[in-house]
Structure 1
């Protein structure tokens, strides 16, 4: 009877290992849903009765301690479980439960010690390895935690909680060598395990940037009965990456039916809305970015501007996100400056000279988004503030709100003249800037970039000289291009290192052809002709349909993929258009 009561008592901890309690310790896998409160009371009565008969029964102490832990009575639970393992040092399950109580009591060192005692008794306990991993993860020991979760999965490839934690750590560690292959191996051994299929889909989505393959695994997980908000949210992201926006929105809505307040899903849904130019709803959801873990906290003492009258008031606009974002959102600054008594602009220090030139009535302060707000304390009194990425919420709520501008940023005219003379020395013909790689690994660099060699058909167009606008080290690529293909790509590193000089160079070029990079935003903000080569599922800034202009930049034209990574046909279309453009000019 005691064994049955212990098993029933174990069930009441089952929810601690279910989705939504990802930082809680796991419980034995044979347990199911929670038992009715009457069963819990019956179990407690049995344990109390047994302890009256035998105060030193390890099993009864363990059962009572487990029930107390479930109820949050951590102090008595810890005492009873500690007594159980004192009386029976090889009681592995009691050691695990004692570790769980320590972990819930925010004593990770004691918890780790208890889990290791359990493993000393039974090193084949997947449960102990998993909970040890959770403990190590809480202590930011990610490498050790990864190994513990791996041990748990080696023992039980279907251990869903261990798998979710292990995959999350691999993503944080940028998928060390062999991790993706190991995950695929586990999934192959359990083709009917929904957790494994969802995990492989997540890896394809975030590591290998293959949304098509991710969708296949997400679909398999759904077919196997998985119905988690996170799964439907990731499914939506993969569909969005393939330009299947209606289906993506349907997946996001499924996720939100399960978890209406899921911030990540609501945010990605807002990006889908922005992609299809539903700005009214899109900008509202876009505000959720401010709550993200990766978003730097700026504790300004000024209130957030809510769109009210700014006559006679001073507003601070502060920087966020990347250089391209700062440039793009700066298109709203003329609107804000016109409405405010005085405008102060914080921007990246590389943009400060150009912003001062472009917005002469504003006070521009260059710096870093990670600077302490106190560094602005010397400024005149400020009435309110707003992050630059929130300006469209007030000024770009409809497609008609985007101005048909000829450029709102200004390059240094003297340097533009210098670069015109320098480029003229290359000989007659169009002078065209080229960029083939954009972003970082975290911003899908491989998905939105192409090898330089892919541009060879474009670089062979006669009557044009091509200039590299590529940021970062690229001299070896350019040298190899010339050696293998005989293509000439001019490179001026000094012009790329200094962003104000980059603006002057762009001002002297006849055309910019680029993948999705900051060069697109700089060229468009300067009012220069820009052709963007966009992936099938681009960032929300580039829209999803047609080869027309971008709302942000009337002089930008978008050339889109028709299949993932299918750059060759995009380059061929650009080549044909360039020949026509050359003949017209």
Structure 2
């Protein structure tokens, strides 16, 4: 009878707990623990009850005691991890979830929770592996199919994500998140009508869901209907006013429509995204205060193209009387030191990964100290409130004279004709990004004209294979300067940018290389182009000509117009 009493009390407490009667359950758990102080179930359940009642720290002590008593009990480990997550102790929570999986490797709850934890912490690759394992255990679970499709979308594996979403929608046709994600994937394959249809289906099921309004804004954007685009975008913000991604996309749409001040202000929401750079040890943020006699740090953005673009505003800070400290990618260190000789330039050391990068600032000078800091991408919100504020910009990058001479000597050895630096895509290849890029077959006319000497400025990986395939397919003429590193050596990149007669490229880092040097650039892209701010050209960068197409059109008209323009060189 003495042994039965704790179990009877525990059973009664658990019934009340499951019914939501925390007040009634708590004293019964306490009675069990008076009779059996190390009773693992009572410790665990009372601990989790305290967590539910808002006393997570006290609850964790009891759950920890339960784990110590029964370390192989996966439910204990799982709830221990959930409480740790609630307390912001993510690393410990991750360890607890892993311990639960070691005890029971095929535990779907532990797999699911660990996958969610990894994804929330930015470890998308790890989350994808866990969700793949989970699908082996629960292949027909719509929630897991949806979660894993999100991982695959983040990793650029859109075909695999689409297959999972189709299966998910067959199993759960009313799952609006799956319908919305499927609609977004249709944009990447340029099927705007199908995307619109699925977004509308989603809204019919849930009119107060913000994501499909943002999706319809995206469809209208690619159709160059900016009025309808902004209407849907504003509705999405009304429904979800605190979503950073919706705000950032709204900012791009406002810029495309020529609403410059508002667009750059919305762009500031990028600093609240989960994948933003975490900056540790910064001085106060610059809000536009007078800079005469002050020292300001300009923090690097995540991509070198953005760093080069926003460096166009560093001369404004110098003109305002500031002493400027520039943080940059290691690849840009020597370029920025030459281009901004009066500034202190420091290369960052980036920790984490692309989903959760971290910069630390223990290297900042102390004498004199730095008064302010600002992310480079935040400079436009203060210094470029309208198109007119771009008018005073001038070329601001300086190439190494000796390397420029070497590049000119190498180009002089080529056959006669204009020397054209050429890049046809970005470094990163992904379905959505590829909407903006070409293949070499789109440039047949340019690449078979013997009067034009096209020099590859392509960077990244796989481009040599693409050139070889184009040479075999249609006799493409494309010079490759061996030993020139177009990916990491920006001294080479800038020197070649000066040496060629013009650069042809999409909206990539090379646009800002050419623009910063004041060299002719022919940029191709998809309209509307938000960086043009409704003007048809790049404000502040007069040497850049832009050639665009609608998403529904082929690249032929654009590549033909650029080829004609090159022939006039």
TM-score class, shorter: 0.7 to 0.9
Per-residue CA deviations over 1:158-208 (Å, capped at 9, x if unaligned) read: x5xx45433333345554984432322222444454233123234455xx5
Mapped partners of 2:218, 2:405: distance in 1: 45
- CA-atom RMSD, angstroms? 4.7
Structure ranking higher on relative contact order (CA contacts 8 Å, 6+ apart): 2
1:478 corresponds in structure 2 to 467
Deviates more, 1:171-180 or 1:183-192: 171-180
User: Does the aligned pair in 1 maintain the 2:446–2:452 contact within 8 Å?
Assistant: no
2:205 corresponds in structure 1 to 224
Secondary structure in structure 2 of the residue aligned to 1:433: strand
* 1:50-449 map, 5 Å: 71=53, 103-104=82-83, 134=116, 142-143=127-128, 145-147=130-132, 150=135, 154-157=139-142, 159=143, 162-172=144-154, 174-175=156-157, 178-204=160-186, 208=188, 210=190, 212=192, 213-225=194-206, 227-360=208-341, 362-368=342-348, 370=350, 372-377=360-365, 380-403=368-391, 405=393, 407-441=395-429, 444-449=432-437
Question: 1:452, CA displacement in angstroms?
Answer: 1.5
The answer to whether 1:452 aligns with 2:440 is: yes
User: Does the aligned pair in 2 maintain the 1:319–1:347 contact within 8 Å?
Assistant: yes
The answer to whether 1:552 aligns with 2:540 is: yes
Mapped partners of 1:98, 1:479: distance in 2: 55
Structure 1 unmatched runs, 5+: 1-5, 13-38, 52-61, 84-94
Per-residue CA deviations over 1:99-127 (Å, capped at 9, x if unaligned) read: 6687346896878999999x99xx9x998
Cα distance change, pair 541–191 in 1 and its aligned pair in 2 (3 A): same
Cα distance change, pair 310–98 in 1 and its aligned pair in 2 (3 A): closer
Deviates more, 1:276-285 or 1:454-463: 454-463
Question: 1:131, CA displacement in angstroms?
Answer: 6.1
Cα distance change, pair 514–337 in 1 and its aligned pair in 2 (3 A): same
Cα distance change, pair 304–484 in 1 and its aligned pair in 2 (3 A): same
* 1:565-576 map, 5 Å: 566-575=554-563
2:39 corresponds in structure 1 to none
1:92 corresponds in structure 2 to none
Cα distance change, pair 10–532 in 1 and its aligned pair in 2 (3 A): farther
Secondary structure in structure 2 of the residue aligned to 1:344: strand
1:494 corresponds in structure 2 to 483
Mapped partners of 2:154, 2:98: distance in 1: 22
User: Does the aligned pair in 2 maintain the 1:134–1:145 contact within 8 Å?
Assistant: no
Question: 1:466, CA displacement in angstroms?
Answer: 1.0
Cα distance change, pair 387–192 in 1 and its aligned pair in 2 (3 A): closer
Question: 1:287, CA displacement in angstroms?
Answer: 1.9
Per-residue CA deviations over 1:414-444 (Å, capped at 9, x if unaligned) read: 4434433432332332221111011424694
Structure 2 unmatched runs, 5+: 1-13, 33-43, 67-73, 351-358
Cα distance change, pair 410–181 in 1 and its aligned pair in 2 (3 A): same
Secondary structure in structure 1 of the residue aligned to 2:335: helix
Question: 1:399, CA displacement in angstroms?
Answer: 0.3
User: Does the aligned pair in 2 maintain the 1:163–1:199 contact within 8 Å?
Assistant: no
Mapped partners of 1:333, 1:215: distance in 2: 42
Cα distance change, pair 73–211 in 1 and its aligned pair in 2 (3 A): farther
Cα distance change, pair 335–115 in 1 and its aligned pair in 2 (3 A): closer
Cα distance change, pair 176–100 in 1 and its aligned pair in 2 (3 A): farther
Cα distance change, pair 383–149 in 1 and its aligned pair in 2 (3 A): same
Cα distance change, pair 477–382 in 1 and its aligned pair in 2 (3 A): same
Question: 1:455, CA displacement in angstroms?
Answer: 0.9
Cα distance change, pair 102–509 in 1 and its aligned pair in 2 (3 A): closer
Match of 1:464 among 441, 452, 475: 452
Mapped partners of 2:423, 2:298: distance in 1: 30
Cα distance change, pair 224–7 in 1 and its aligned pair in 2 (3 A): farther
Q: What is the TM-score when the length of structure 2 is the normalising length?
A: 0.76
Q: What is the TM-score when the length of structure 1 is the normalising length?
A: 0.74
